Amino acid sequence: MLNQTKEYGIFYLKTVFPKGHRLEWLNYLHISRVIPKDLSDELDSLVSDINSRNGIVIPMDKGVDPGCVTEPEIIEEVANEVYNRYCEIFERLTSDNVKDCIRLVWGIGEMEDVNYKSTHDLPAYPIMIKVGRFLDSSKNPGIYKV
């Protein structure tokens, strides 16, 4: 018997501080474990808000390049909310009012099995590869649909 596929929305994000910026090191680390407590608390609140929404299939994590899987009908709204709140949090809580330091890539594609605790554990479905390649293809901030 063939496994059934279904469409899901997925996003990943990363910080993209420019080369030489004093916070560039955040581009490469587990964000929630190495940042000041006030910033960590803000991100925890954001993740909790997102994960409490209806339509979240695999909860947003707080690892390197956080991601989330949703029902396809809500992915654009969730991606925009996460992007905007991340930008606002970093701008407000960093001493130099950092702007444009987030890159979020989202898309909709078919997946067979989404019974995982984290998006980082998913198999290499075509949508995963497409989102991941685009996420890593540039250091330019912004929100992108693939």
Q: What is the pLDDT of residues 49-84, one digit of tens each?
A: 999 999 999 999 877 788 999 999 999 999 999 999
Q: Is residue 51 a part of any domain in this protein?
A: yes
CATH number of the CATH domain containing 98: 3.30.70
For the segment 78-98, what is each residue's pLDDT rounded down to a tens digit? Answer: 999 999 998 888 887 776 667
Q: Which pLDDT score is estimated for 90? A: 81
Indicate if the pLDDT at residue 108 is higher than 90. Answer: yes
Gap between the Cα atoms of 138 and 140, Å rounded? 5
Q: Is residue 107 a part of any domain in this protein?
A: yes
Q: Is residue 1 a part of any domain in this protein?
A: no
Q: Which domain holds residue 66?
A: 6-145
Segments of the chain assigned E as strands: 6-15, 56-58, 67-70, 102-111, 142-145
Considering its fold, how many domains does the chain have in total? 1
Indicate if the pLDDT at residue 101 is higher than 50. Answer: yes
For range 111-134, the mean pLDDT: 92
Greater confidence, 114 or 25?
A: 114
Indicate if the pLDDT at residue 1 is higher than 90. Answer: no
5, 33, 62, 143 from 107: Cα distances, Å: 16, 27, 20, 11
Name residues whose C-beta falls within 8 Å of residue 112's C-beta, 6 or more positions apart in sequence: 3, 4, 5, 6, 123, 125
pTM: 0.90
Name residues whose C-beta falls within 8 Å of residue 58's C-beta, 6 or more positions apart in sequence: 67, 68, 69, 114, 116, 117, 118, 119, 122
Confidence of residue 25 (pLDDT cuts 50, 70, 90): confident
DSSP letter, residue 25: G
